[in-house]
Structure 1
Amino acid sequence: MSQPDDEVLGKAYDHRLARRLLTYLKPYRGRVALAIPLIALTAGFELLALNLTMAAIDLFLLPPAPERLGLFSRLLAAGFEALGGRPAPMDGVAVIGSLYLGLMLVVFGLTYWQTLLLNGTGQFVMYDLRRELFAKFQRLPLSYYDRTPIGRMTTRLTSDVDALNELFTSGFVTLLSDVVVLVGLLTFLFLVNWKLALVSLVVVPLLTAITAWFRHHASRTYREVRIRLARINAFLQEHLSGMATVQLFNREAREEQAFEAINDAHRRINIETIFYYAVFYPAIGFVSNLGVALVIWYGGGQVLTGTLSLGALFFFIQAMQRFYEPIQDISEKYNILQAAMAAAERVFKVLDEPLVITSPSAPKRPAVMRGEIEFRNVWFAYKGENWVLRDVSFRVAPGQTVALVGATGAGKTSITSLLMRFYDVQRGQILVDGVDVREFDLTELRRYFGVVLQDPTLFAGTIADNLRLGAKDISEDRLIAAAQEVQADAFIRRLPGGYQAEVKERGATLSVGQKQLLALARALAFDPRILILDEATASIDSETEALIQSAIERLLVGRTCVVIAHRLSTVRRADNIIVLHRGEIREMGTHQELVARADGIYRRLYELQYREATPPPRAASAATVVRSPV
């Protein structure tokens, strides 16, 4: 079974992706260029500190014969001689101790600055990536949203970008620092005593085998953990959003069992991961100690035979303990690298998604904005040749109201989506004021339209924010006038704070009718030439519907309007009613003309709704119940 896009991990390293990731560092190459020498200096000063301990022993605590002194100790002794002679042992130890402390302070400062520079760079890169991703999401066509879950897009912007940040900061810093330390340590080890250096490396093959074993199993379990976690997230998203349905049908116990199974699978794979870590760390520690033991055995023998100083042996012991840390770090960072490569692949897949709906290089615009609409032989399918609209042609004169009527799936909403160019037609033309919508600048085209949906979208913020949607040219007076015109001002002023009242996510604290009135006020505030009402009164009570219908009548004055409605009572006053059936126009005319057709689709729909709206007569007896056929 193929894994979802979120669950697949790619190669641990992909040079193509790595090169592309590095382009995001270009604006901050000065910071990176400064951080890299700081990393090298930090590692160098740490190695220098190890040499100071060797020098302290060889020069002042247990000085060997001069010919047995290491290179660093001889250089330090020469430095003392140049400054007036080697100091007494207590003074010499104090001097070296002070030098050691000074080096550690320098290391502290260097580490502080390199962390600040690289972590700051990582934050800048995350900012740039998220901004680029969000901008791309806003430009992608609606067809992309039709096939992509919202949760997956959220993951691109959050956890995937975080994985890349960890690569740029923790992973990058650690790998670079570890490489510098390894190279530096090997260099010093061979300079001090090449024979003992070779002995100390005897355990490296064993260390490599343990690391390879851990990397293989850790990679597999890490992938499984991500899969299990993705399933938990998907289950939670679905069931928390549908909690009302779960409770309504008494599914709490059943869903709890389902979640328990998913959660248990996540727990078990995490415990397996812990097992591999529990083996890896002690094994690395054991091999490290085995290497130190070999150094003590062989190096101790050299000390006893007079071919190695005690300071050099102490240096080797310290160096070997430090030598195994980078190898362990590199093994741990393998998963970070693998996750970052997978995240990069998914992020770049979004960024490379083609923009099929774009503005032309030389856009056109009508001389006068009148609000005329014309469909010419339009064919449209969301996929392949599964035609949603078939050879649709009609014209709406400026200021007219046209109603689109038909069963679910007849193509009504598709017409309005094509009109605003959320999709492009496969055949035919759609014209607004005589200009093909594909020849408009997208921003200019969509300024023509105001849309009121059955479930209007409100954002977290204030009432004024939701009416204005960031448009700075809409003044406070114009905002209030729009609300008054559609009779929304009264309920807005009753809210705590009035126009500055807080709106929760998706308008959770407002009724459906209030949200519809706000959507109408917003449409009026933007003063569109063409208004689209998509089932705007389908989910409200009769009293609120009457209020909204009154607001709509005010809004329609001087505007072209396209109305989509299943309730035919809302389209009686339309100048033209288009009846769609399976993507084709079957009837067209006014309400009176269509009702007059004895065998027409519109008449059958109207009669069916009229019968359903008319209550059956009361039964003559309480013992007799009259039921309408279903």
Structure 2
Amino acid sequence: MIERHKHLLVPLPQGAVFKRLMKYATPHWKWLIIAFLLLVGGTGAQILGPILIKIFIDDYLTPRIFDFQPLLWLGAGYLALYLSSAIMNFSQSLLFQKIALRIIQQLRIDVFAKVEKLGLSFFDQFPTGGLVSRITNDTEQVKELYVSVMAVFVQNIVFLIGVFVAMFFLNVQLALFCLVLLPIIITIMQLYRKFSSKYYSEMSEKLSQLNARLNESIQGMTIIQVFRQERRMNQDFKKTNKEHFNAHFKSIKLDGLLLRPAVDFISILALILVLSFFGITSFNSPVEIGVLYAFINYLDRFFEPVNQMMQRLSIFQQAMISAGRVFRLMDHDELAPVKQGNLSPSIEKGMIEFKNVTFSYDGKQNVLKDISFQVKEGETLALVGHTGSGKSSIINLLMRFYSIKHGEILVDGVPIEAYEEEELRSKLGLVLQDPFLFVGDIEHNIRLYDESISDGDVKAAAEFVHAVPFIEKLPEGYHTPVGERGTTFSSGQRQLLSFARTMAKKPKILVLDEATANVDTETETEIQKALEKMRRGRTTIAIAHRLSTIKDADQILVLHQGEIVEQGTHQQLLDQEGLYHKMYLLQQGAEKLVELAVETLE
């Protein structure tokens, strides 16, 4: 990860993270109030139960008074409290869970929407697996905060308050003694948060690295197997997995020390305190058995919610760390370039002009240096040059994937920054060297969620680019399933489908990024026919790998190390006997060698 992305690894303050998480609950405040009232009612019913039993023991059982009607009312009251508590607790739990799922649903939508707005400069440098981990694993951890932690915390805090109210009702002096337990428990919680945040942050980062390695390995499995790198990749994966294990094991040891064992120890001390108090009191005055029972019952009920909260504290810490990572991503300001100014021009002719454009991806090394050229309406401009000469960078800037700091790009005489995103994307058609197909079917990949493109438009686009013959040979025609990245189709078929997808939009400007580089000679003939039709009446900029395919271009730019070193038509550049001439001779010689080899084999 490059330097400008290092801040994405720095944890956010947990207080700020918690406030932002609570803002997501604001739209649900009415249901939260209802759930809270049900929670208070259910908790109150639970707390009143031991008091009724205390009344039964001290007022009826101990003096042996067994009047039927009062005892019936006590029994009925106890059952009513138990049933009402069960119903209200079930209802409030259901409401809290539903609200939690709604909140996490919105959070996932927000983080994915933010990722869609990030510029390509971010995706160029940030590992894909790490990004997927933040959108899936981290949001799943945040979901556990709302589902497993928040409702339990709220419920148990209310319950603890009720327990102390009942304790003060029974015996003020002993209740004050029990209050001393709260600072001790809070101190344990603070110690746990302090140490666990470090371990969980390390765990999340190692999990992201695991996902990044998995994503890279799966996508590059062909290369791994060809070069027999399975053992090395396995060792790298084992190393990262071991680091994740170590971080996780540290958190487990911390949980084992500061969660249940510590609370159980304090609960034993509290029980000793209560029994000692009543034992000492019994020397001077009689002890009410009902009060003793109620106090021990409340003490037991006091530590059960404390244990529940302590056990969920680890989930809380993981969720806070994960939420911080998600919010770091959502706060990242490396956005895709957007429209500037109040004008809303439209692209009518498709004229393109670059004026003294200088560009750098990292802000240090320029990949384009003072580039200037003009393409008139309906003309074809070809870009040629060795790898790294800046051809694709020109395409990226024209598509407004990146912002420029120096120079100007004009479309129909208007700065490219002035166009609306929809206008620019609908009027510029891009065909990449390695076309990307989505899971679905052929019709879906041509239409690509654009409902304005009818079934007739889909078929017309396929026919226009000569894709119909191979589509009609498929078992289900336009409804033939397409797997991930279209791997079940040949490179030529994928390219024809990407042509059809582009032409279905009827763009004014056509941008071709080495569209024939990965296809065989026979398929290239069909693709060249399609390209020739596609270019008619459209301004076209094409990156050319095979110079023989751009002989009819109106203008050819020869790039070298980010600069235009030659410019002219195919014949003019050959007559100059410069870099283009040398590239052409090399390709011609290579093609003749291939032809000779084929003839020899035959």
Of stretches 589-598 and 164-173 in structure 1, the one that deviates more from structure 2 is 164-173
Superimposed CA distance per residue, residues 554-601 of structure 1 (whole angstroms, 9 cap, x where no aligned partner):
211211111102221221121111111111111111111111112x11
Residues 272/168 of structure 1: CA separation in 2 closer, same or farther (3 Å cut): closer
Alignment match of 2:98 (pick from 120, 132, 144): 120
1:25 maps to 2:5: no
Say whether the 8 Å CA contact 1:376–1:430 is kept in structure 2.
Answer: yes
Please give the residue correspondences for 1:79-228 in structure 2 after superposition, counting only pairs within 5 Å.
Answer: 88=66, 92-200=70-178, 214-228=192-206
> 2: distance between equivalents of 1:434 and 1:206?
72
1:471 maps to 2:442: no
Say whether the 8 Å CA contact 1:573–1:591 is kept in structure 2.
Answer: yes
Q: Which residue in 2 is equivalent to 1:44?
A: 44
> 1: distance between equivalents of 2:392 and 2:112?
26
3-state SS of 1:596 partner: helix
Alignment match of 1:445 (pick from 416, 420, 424): 424
> 2: distance between equivalents of 1:392 and 1:521?
32
Residues 115/419 of structure 1: CA separation in 2 closer, same or farther (3 Å cut): same
Output the amino acid matched with 2:210.
I
Output the amino acid matched with 1:407.
H
Q: Which residue in 1 is equivalent to 2:571?
A: 592
Please give the residue correspondences for 1:603-614 in structure 2 after superposition, counting only pairs within 5 Å.
Answer: 603-614=581-592
Residues 356/550 of structure 1: CA separation in 2 closer, same or farther (3 Å cut): closer
Residues 25/539 of structure 1: CA separation in 2 closer, same or farther (3 Å cut): same
Say whether the 8 Å CA contact 2:100–2:147 is kept in structure 1.
Answer: yes
Q: Which residue in 1 is equivalent to 2:373?
A: 394
Alignment match of 1:485 (pick from 448, 460, 464): 464
Say whether the 8 Å CA contact 2:197–2:321 is kept in structure 1.
Answer: no
Residues 285/420 of structure 1: CA separation in 2 closer, same or farther (3 Å cut): same
Instruction: Calculate the aligned-residue CA RMSD, in Å.
Output: 2.9
Superimposed CA distance per residue, residues 591-617 of structure 1 (whole angstroms, 9 cap, x where no aligned partner):
11111112x110011111122222299
Superimposed CA distance per residue, residues 62-115 of structure 1 (whole angstroms, 9 cap, x where no aligned partner):
249xxxxxxxxxxxxxxxxxxxxxx83566555433322222221222222222
> 2: distance between equivalents of 1:22 and 1:268?
32
1:291 maps to 2:270: yes
> 1: distance between equivalents of 2:184 and 2:110?
46
Residues 314/455 of structure 1: CA separation in 2 closer, same or farther (3 Å cut): same
> 2: distance between equivalents of 1:409 and 1:345?
38
Alignment match of 2:255 (pick from 260, 264, 277): 277
Alignment match of 1:243 (pick from 201, 213, 221): 221
Say whether the 8 Å CA contact 1:364–1:435 is kept in structure 2.
Answer: no
TM normalised by structure 2 equals: 0.91
Output the amino acid matched with 2:342.
A
3-state SS of 2:504 partner: helix
> 1: distance between equivalents of 2:439 and 2:549?
31
Q: Which runs of 5+ in 1 are unaligned?
A: 65-86, 620-630
Residues 400/221 of structure 1: CA separation in 2 closer, same or farther (3 Å cut): closer
Output the amino acid matched with 1:196.
L
**Cα shift at 1:159:** 2.6
> 2: distance between equivalents of 1:287 and 1:204?
10
1:325 maps to 2:296: no
TM normalised by structure 1 equals: 0.87
Q: Which residue in 2 is equivalent to 1:80?
A: none
> 1: distance between equivalents of 2:500 and 2:313?
55
1:418 maps to 2:397: yes
Q: Which residue in 2 is equivalent to 1:500?
A: 479
Residues 229/479 of structure 1: CA separation in 2 closer, same or farther (3 Å cut): closer
Say whether the 8 Å CA contact 2:260–2:311 is kept in structure 1.
Answer: no
**Cα shift at 1:453:** 0.6
Output the amino acid matched with 1:109.
I
Q: Which residue in 2 is equivalent to 1:431?
A: 410
Please give the residue correspondences for 1:528-607 in structure 2 after superposition, counting only pairs within 5 Å.
Answer: 528-598=507-577, 600-607=578-585
3-state SS of 1:447 partner: helix
> 2: distance between equivalents of 1:115 and 1:53?
27
Residues 429/570 of structure 1: CA separation in 2 closer, same or farther (3 Å cut): same
> 1: distance between equivalents of 2:330 and 2:236?
36
Of stretches 338-347 and 103-112 in structure 1, the one that deviates more from structure 2 is 338-347
Q: Which residue in 2 is equivalent to 1:625?
A: none
Identity rate, percent: 39
> 1: distance between equivalents of 2:178 and 2:385?
83
Say whether the 8 Å CA contact 1:405–1:565 is kept in structure 2.
Answer: yes
> 2: distance between equivalents of 1:141 and 1:210?
44
> 2: distance between equivalents of 1:489 and 1:608?
36
Output the amino acid matched with 1:444.
E
Q: Which residue in 2 is equivalent to 1:360?
A: 340
> 1: distance between equivalents of 2:123 and 2:67?
76
Superimposed CA distance per residue, residues 406-435 of structure 1 (whole angstroms, 9 cap, x where no aligned partner):
111111111111112112222222111121
> 2: distance between equivalents of 1:589 and 1:204?
83
Say whether the 8 Å CA contact 1:7–1:226 is kept in structure 2.
Answer: no
Residues 374/228 of structure 1: CA separation in 2 closer, same or farther (3 Å cut): closer
3-state SS of 2:349 partner: coil
1:310 maps to 2:289: yes
Task: Pick the structure with greater CA Rg.
Answer: 1
Superimposed CA distance per residue, residues 445-469 of structure 1 (whole angstroms, 9 cap, x where no aligned partner):
2211111111111111111111001
**Cα shift at 1:535:** 0.9
Superimposed CA distance per residue, residues 115-143 of structure 1 (whole angstroms, 9 cap, x where no aligned partner):
22222222222222222222222222222
> 1: distance between equivalents of 2:69 and 2:376?
101
Residues 511/215 of structure 1: CA separation in 2 closer, same or farther (3 Å cut): same
> 2: distance between equivalents of 1:199 and 1:89?
37
> 2: distance between equivalents of 1:20 and 1:218?
21
Say whether the 8 Å CA contact 1:215–1:331 is kept in structure 2.
Answer: no
Say whether the 8 Å CA contact 1:303–1:310 is kept in structure 2.
Answer: no
Say whether the 8 Å CA contact 1:358–1:442 is kept in structure 2.
Answer: yes
Say whether the 8 Å CA contact 1:379–1:428 is kept in structure 2.
Answer: yes
**Cα shift at 1:58:** 1.8
**Cα shift at 1:316:** 0.7
Of stretches 198-207 and 217-226 in structure 1, the one that deviates more from structure 2 is 198-207
3-state SS of 1:614 partner: helix
1:510 maps to 2:489: yes
**Cα shift at 1:155:** 2.8
Output the amino acid matched with 2:96.
L
**Cα shift at 1:320:** 0.6
The count of corresponding residues between Structure 1 and Structure 2 is 594
**Cα shift at 1:9:** 4.2
> 2: distance between equivalents of 1:357 and 1:17?
28
3-state SS of 1:495 partner: coil
Alignment match of 1:373 (pick from 345, 348, 352): 352
Output the amino acid matched with 2:82.
M
Of stretches 486-495 and 156-165 in structure 1, the one that deviates more from structure 2 is 156-165
Output the amino acid matched with 1:248.
V
3-state SS of 1:451 partner: strand
Q: Which runs of 5+ in 2 are unaligned?
A: 598-602
> 2: distance between equivalents of 1:463 and 1:450?
19
> 2: distance between equivalents of 1:410 and 1:578?
11
Say whether the 8 Å CA contact 2:12–2:328 is kept in structure 1.
Answer: no
> 2: distance between equivalents of 1:154 and 1:107?
42
Q: Which residue in 2 is equivalent to 1:81?
A: none
> 2: distance between equivalents of 1:304 and 1:536?
97
**Cα shift at 1:215:** 4.7
3-state SS of 1:379 partner: strand
3-state SS of 1:348 partner: helix
Output the amino acid matched with 1:535.
E
